[in-house]
Amino acid sequence: GTFRAESLLVQGQRVAARNGKEFLVVNMEISNPYNVALYTYPVDTFRLLGVDGKKYAPTAHQGNVEVRPQSTKTSNVGFIVPQGTKKFKVEIGELTGEKVLLEFSLPN
């Protein structure tokens, strides 16, 4: 799920967006079917595509996420966006690999 928030809990600390900005929060589930722990770094996997054509890394994230063997872990990333922004494009994929482009809209 994806939603807007004025503040976000990041590694136990409450972080607030200021000056007419808010967070676009992208929730994710990371599944590990293997018998060994899996480590992933979502801050390097998600990019917000700005109207200026630039790619923006998440401002808020949970750091290196450890997914225990044969389990699923939830995490999230947060991008700073202008309040009231309705349409978003988020690119997901390894830095050097193929990317998936998500385009979505959120109501007010």
How many other C-beta atoms lie within 10 A of the C-beta of residue 54?
A: 9
- Count Cα neighbours of 106 within 13 Å in the Cβ-side half-sphere: 18
Tell me the pLDDT tens digit for each residue of 55-82: 999 999 988 999 999 999 999 999 999 9
Tell me the pLDDT tens digit for each residue of 14-60: 888 888 899 999 999 999 999 999 999 999 999 999 988 899 999 99
Residue 75 and residue 30 in contact, taking contact as beta carbons nearer than 8 Å: yes
Residue 75 and residue 39 in contact, taking contact as beta carbons nearer than 8 Å: no
Question: Quick check: pTM over 0.75?
Answer: yes
- Report which residue type is found at 71: S
- Report which residue type is found at 73: K
d(CA 106, CA 80): 15
